Amino acid sequence: MAEERLGGFEELVLLAVAGLAGDGYGVTIRDHLEEGTGNRVSVGAVYATLDRLQRKGLVKSRMGGTTAERGGKRKRLFRITGRGQAAMAEARTLRDYLWNAIQAPARS
């Protein structure tokens, strides 16, 4: 599944989408990332990445209902797909492999 290999930020966005269980939209995904990483994240970067992940078939979106807090605007909600879950699993397997290959320093 090498064609689904994720970039670092793509992986973080995909993890945030998965963590929000289908209720995530641009701002909540950004907030989740900022809370988890402690870094400021541009909502524009989040949306660009979500669009890229959707083109790859790793997330799907749907329009939610209207809300008063958004002036009647609908939210575009994202959820992870089966392909997205497989890509996350592959990324984790690769990271685990690389971490496990690091030899612990000798203790004196």
**2: in domain:** no
Note the pLDDT tens digit of each residue in 82-100. Answer: 999 999 999 999 989 988 8
Q: What is the pLDDT of residues 20-78, one digit of tens each?
A: 998 899 999 999 999 999 999 999 999 999 999 999 999 999 998 777 776 778 889 99
- Domain hosting residue 66, numbered range: 7-100
Q: What is the CATH number of the domain that holds 30?
A: 1.10.10.10
- Backbone angles phi and psi of 102, in degrees to 5: -75, 125
From CA 23, how far away is CA 43, in angstroms rounded? 16
Separation between Cα atoms, residue 4 and residue 87, nearest integer Å: 6
29 part of a folded domain: yes
pLDDT score of 99: 87
Q: Hey, how many other C-beta atoms are within 10 angstroms of the C-beta on 54?
A: 16
Q: Which residues contact 67 (CB under 8 A, 6 or more apart)?
A: 73, 74, 75
Does residue 1 belong to any structural domain of this protein?
no
Residues 41, 34: Cα–Cα separation, whole Å: 6
The band of 1, judged by pLDDT with boundaries at 50, 70 and 90, is: very low
108 located within any domain: no
CB 104 within 8 A of CB 78: no
Whole-number Å distance between alpha carbons of 19 and 30: 12
How many structural domains is the chain composed of?
Answer: 1
